[in-house]
């Protein structure tokens, strides 16, 4: 048995090395040195934080179609130019132009003479109410099934969607995913049963008075009714009143408007590959934000990190063999026009090989989610050792980002930066998403991770 | 070869199962169910946050020997009692009683008529200056070697220790460790070369005007001189002035005092084991804090998590076979009297089997550091699957906590909760360490991780 055991051991070792290496030892050494250098450089200069500070303070919130979004585009071009990126240019794209307008008011008017202001904000895309508002009795539901089961009793009422963000999930994106249908489709479903307006509990991991906006959609075949998000604390108050069996009346006033589409742009800059310039790795986040807060985590962080990822390579004089292209996408929040236009654009002679997005907030990175065939996934997963020193070496299947999803649909491997997601929905789409919520080191570590991955992709190809 | 390959595979599988299991499948199932239940329960109630809110708002900062520390002890006993823990009691311990006093002032007095207030705070344990202060020329050093090399030229001067917290390290505790000798031994080393006072750059990951205090030590054979921390931004200002070659004068006034030792206590409460009550797992943090901020992350978080870890087991009606004992240690910050007294106390018939500490802030947990012999380490490391669902399954060698280090010196396995440490030194030992810097979910996840580990230890033993 001894000889067999030894043989076994040898086979085991052979299997192990075959699956864990593929890079020769010289490459391992040189990539490790590059990764360590990028880490050190990044944490010395904290470039992502500087870029994000500029974006949030000089531009601030920047909803698609707004003058601030136009300013952000110019800012992005200027920053990339000043950093010496190559082929810095804008790629025009038409985007929707929805404006919130000056009036945004909701009041509880009863029971028992209550007259209480609620903390609300229109959902992105909502129509306005008549100037005098929409007044109606509130009817609460937790699901569309429950709403449909109500039959006629929702007619003429204000439908209140109150299925909460599920705090018991470790993965906050899952919790968000479990609630967000109410925001996206609530107005349509409410209108189908005769509701006159829809209010939706904010998709937030905090119980407070901050409402969180986000996109909603109408469909042509259903009457459009106005819709707004209400803060989690207000939602709880309405729920308690209803639970006591009393009739709750609400008046909602919104003055939002959909204006004609506007020309805007994706902002693009590159480090051109020295050996295969035609092979391109896209690194991006989205430049637009909601019109709340400063769009710091969502997704100023991703833009700052994408820019910093390239800047770090320049600073380190690491010359990528393939082209690394930073793209600040326009209009992720309410249309995805930038992401679609980027993927649709004809780029003769070009071969996109991977796209990386960071759009989960500027928090400590933990790894990457890779949506690609097994061979590509396994190749990338074998580079995990480059991220071990920063505890960001969890490379898992699945992931990506909205802006690069049109590229993925064309078969291009799509990668998303995975971060510590516990705080994201405290801030997301609200007045709380401001620069002071971003930690300098956490933000930079994300940029560093992307820089290392994009460089390795550029050297090794797919 | 085919048969050999198959045999190989079987041996491989056998090796794998031997090393990764040890628990039978029924146990795996039951521990997994317990872990999932604890996770869900914790994130539903967020008990740790509630406890920490109470401690920080009702008690606030609580330096050993202070009336607030006494209040914290009573608070701890009350909370554990109300939660129905068993054998709730105090274990008396004498602690030092240092007070900051009302006067704390530092001014740059020159060059060129500058009269600028600096943001400083006395280091814990420092003597006072004479009422008129100590005035002297500032001499800057980055290390004790450099200081010693100065010879007589430091005589009569105020020594300024300005070796920064190394931001380039991913592990912020390493960065802290690389700077903290200046705080602990700076006054002694400065006095040895004739310095009249020592000021020390704050050990912080931020550049701002917030000074960070911490313990310093005198030795009997060397003249005691007063010593204070200066904010990182002020440190940079002094450094720039000195770099310009000008003579920088500073006046330091401190009114701190060392009062006679005071009786205080460790606060203890238990879930008594159903099968081996004499075998004890300690779960703790430290109840004292510095007299700055609210001691929220350091280490109110650890106290709240230790209490919550036990409460979760009670809520889930999970009955530990061995005793799980929560200990809120007194005097970690400036003496470790509580930790030493706990370990020194005679406990007839008792067999301590492990001690877990959480004292790295209430941030998202990533795993545990285990200081134990290989067999124990490997046993605990095999439980990593219980923490996978919350991405906290990195169980590594080495770690623990100051309060439980006296237990470790007696050979008891010592375990420290490892957390995302990027933000810790933004707040540590300063006015910034307040409740609002703690995220509810991140804090609770730490409590959950400790609850799961202590329960598994209680069931499986060591």
Q: Which residue of A has its CA nearest to B426?
A: A439
Within 10 Å of residue A132's Cβ, how many Cβ atoms?
8
Subunit contact B440:A8, Cβ cutoff 8 A: no
Q: What is the pLDDT of residues A91-135, one digit of tens each?
A: 999 999 999 999 999 999 988 889 999 999 999 999 999 999 999
Residues present in chain B in total? 462
The closest alpha carbon to A167, from B307, B46, B305, B443, belongs to B46
Interatomic CA distance for residues A297 and A294, integer angstroms = 8
User: Which burial class, exposed, middle or buried, applies to B12 when counting CB atoms under 10 A from its CB (0-12, 13-18, 19+)?
Assistant: middle
Contacts of B391 in chain A (CB under 8 A): 170, 366, 394
Per-position b or e across B289-304, b if 16+ CB within 10 A of its CB = bbbbbbbbbbbbbbbb
Q: Where are the beta strands (DSSP E) in B100-223?
A: 104-109, 115-118, 120-122, 134-141, 158-161, 197-201
Instruction: State whether residue B277 is helix, strand or coil.
Output: strand
Q: What is the pLDDT of residues A363-419, one digit of tens each?
A: 999 999 999 999 999 999 999 999 999 999 999 999 999 999 999 999 999 999 999
ipTM for the assembly: 0.93
Q: What is the pLDDT of residues A241-250, one digit of tens each?
A: 999 999 999 9
Per-position b or e across A29-60, b if 16+ CB within 10 A of its CB = eebbebbebbbbbbbebbbbbebbbbbbeebb
Least confident segment among A46-60, B4-18, B65-79, B198-212: B4-18
The set of long-range contacts for A50-54, using a CB threshold of 8 Å and a minimum separation of 24, is A51/A79, A51/A303, A51/A304, A51/A307, A51/A308, A52/A296, A52/A300, A52/A301, A52/A303, A52/A304, A52/A362, A52/A435, A52/A438, A52/A443, A53/A435, A54/A79
Within 10 Å of residue A460's Cβ, how many Cβ atoms?
18
Q: Are B288 and B69 in contact (CB under 8 A)?
A: yes
Beta bridge partners, A207, equal none
Q: Which residue of B has its CA nearest to A42?
A: B168
Q: What DSSP string describes B343-387?
A: HHS--TT-EEEEEEE--S-SPPEEEEEEES-HHHHHHHHGGGGGG
Q: Which residues of A touch B (CB under 8 A)?
A: 4-5, 7-8, 11-12, 15, 39-40, 43-44, 46, 167-170, 172, 205-206, 364, 366, 389-391, 394, 420, 422-423, 426, 439-442, 445
Interatomic CA distance for residues A321 and A273, integer angstroms = 4
List alpha helices for B244-348, DSSP H: 301-315, 337-344
Subunit contact A170:B366, Cβ cutoff 8 A: no
Within 10 Å of residue A344's Cβ, how many Cβ atoms?
10
- Tokens representing residue B50 in the block: 């509630």
Contacts of B5 in chain A (CB under 8 A): 11
Mutation target among B172, B175, B364 for the A interface, most CBs of A within 10 A: B364
Q: What is the pLDDT of residues A157-212, one digit of tens each?
A: 999 999 999 999 999 999 999 999 999 999 999 999 999 999 999 999 999 999 99
Q: Which residues of B touch A (CB under 8 A)?
A: 4-5, 7-8, 11-12, 15, 39-40, 43-44, 46, 167-170, 172, 205-206, 364, 366, 389-391, 394, 420, 422-423, 426, 439-442, 445
Which of A12, A40, A441 has its CB closest to that of B205? A441
Q: For chain B, what is the mean pLDDT?
A: 95
Contacts of A421 in chain B (CB under 8 A): none
DSSP A275: S
Q: Are B232 and B204 in contact (CB under 8 A)?
A: yes
Per-position b or e across B348-374, b if 16+ CB within 10 A of its CB = eeeebbbbbbbbbbbbbbbbbbbbbee
Least confident segment among A1-15, A121-135, B232-246, B349-363: A1-15
Given CA atoms A338, A343, A345, A349 in this order, what sign does their dihedral have? positive
B91 vs B65, B88, B289, B337, CA distance in Å? 15, 10, 18, 11
Averaged over A43-70, what is the pLDDT? 98
Averaged over B185-203, what is the pLDDT? 98
Backbone angles phi, psi at A97, to 5 degrees: -135, 90
- pTM for this structure? 0.94
Interatomic CA distance for residues A424 and A298, integer angstroms = 9
pLDDT at position B17 over 90? no
Subunit contact A167:B394, Cβ cutoff 8 A: no
Instruction: State whether residue B208 is helix, strand or coil.
Output: coil
DSSP A298: I
Subunit contact A391:B442, Cβ cutoff 8 A: no
The closest alpha carbon to A63, from A257, A236, A229, A211, belongs to A257
B233 vs B107, B201, B205, CA distance in Å? 14, 9, 11
- Tokens representing residue A394 in the block: 């969890």
pLDDT grade for A22, boundaries at 50, 70 and 90:
low
Interatomic CA distance for residues A365 and A387, integer angstroms = 10
The closest alpha carbon to A304, from A36, A79, A34, A40, belongs to A79
Query: For residue A403, how far is the Cα from the chain centroid?
Result: 9
Averaged over A252-280, what is the pLDDT? 98
pLDDT at position A428 over 60? yes
Per-position b or e across A298-321, b if 16+ CB within 10 A of its CB = bbbbbbbbbbbbbbbbebbebebb
Which of A4, A168, A423 has its CB closest to that of B44? A168
Instruction: State whether residue B394 is helix, strand or coil.
Output: strand
Pairing of strands A414-419, A351-357: parallel
Per-position b or e across A143-165, b if 16+ CB within 10 A of its CB = ebeebeebeeebeebbbbbbbbb
């Amino acid at each position: 048995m001894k000889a067999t055991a030894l043989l076994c051991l040898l086979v085991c070792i052979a299997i192990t090395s075959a699956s864990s290496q593929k890079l020769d030892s010289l490459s391992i050494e040189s990539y490790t040195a590059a990764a360590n250098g990028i880490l050190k450089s990044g944490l010395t200069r904290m470039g992502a934080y500087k870029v994000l500070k500029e974006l949030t303070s000089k531009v601030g919130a920047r909803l698609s179609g707004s003058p601030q979004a136009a300013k952000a585009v110019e800012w992005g071009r200027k920053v990339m130019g000043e950093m010496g990126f190559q082929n810095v240019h804008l790629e025009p794209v038409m985007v929707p132009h929805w404006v919130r307008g000056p009036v945004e008011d909701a009041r509880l008017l009863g029971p028992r003479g209550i007259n209480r202001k609620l903390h609300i904000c229109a959902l992105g895309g909502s129509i306005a109410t008549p100037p005098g508002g929409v007044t109606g009795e509130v009817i609460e539901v937790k699901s569309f099934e429950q709403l449909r089961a109500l039959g006629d009793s929702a007619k003429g009422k204000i439908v209140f969607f109150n299925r909460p963000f599920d705090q018991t999930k470790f993965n906050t994106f899952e919790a968000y995913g479990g609630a967000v249908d109410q925001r996206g489709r609530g107005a349509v479903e409410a209108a189908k049963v005769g509701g006159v307006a829809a209010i939706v509990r904010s998709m937030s991991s905090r119980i407070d008075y901050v409402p969180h906006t986000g996109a909603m959609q109408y469909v042509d075949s259903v009457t459009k009714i106005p819709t707004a998000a209400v803060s989690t604390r207000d939602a709880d108050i309405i729920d308690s009143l209803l639970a006591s069996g009393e009739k709750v009346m609400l008046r909602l006033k919104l003055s939002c408007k959909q204006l004609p589409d506007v020309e805007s742009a994706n902002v693009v800059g590159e480090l051109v590959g020295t050996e295969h310039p035609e092979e391109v790795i896209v690194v991006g986040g989205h430049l637009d934000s909601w019109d709340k807060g400063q769009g710091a985590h969502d997704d100023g962080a991703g833009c700052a990190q994408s820019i910093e990822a390239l800047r770090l390579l320049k600073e380190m004089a690491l010359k990528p063999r393939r082209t690394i292209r930073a793209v600040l996408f326009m209009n992720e929040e309410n249309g995805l026009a930038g992401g679609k236009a980027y993927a649709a654009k004809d780029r003769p002679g070009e071969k996109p090989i991977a796209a990386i997005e960071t759009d989960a907030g500027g928090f400590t990175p933990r790894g990457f989610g890779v949506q690609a065939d097994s061979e590509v996934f396994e190749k990338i997963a074998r580079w995990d050792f480059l991220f071990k020193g920063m505890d960001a070496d969890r490379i898992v299947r699945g992931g990506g980002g909205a802006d690069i999803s049109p590229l993925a649909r064309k078969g291009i491997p799509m990668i998303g930066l995975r971060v510590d997601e516990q705080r994201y929905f405290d801030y997301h789409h609200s007045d709380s998403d401001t620069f002071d919520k971003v930690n300098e080191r956490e933000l930079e570590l994300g940029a560093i991770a992307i820089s290392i991955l994009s460089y390795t992709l550029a050297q090794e190809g797919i």
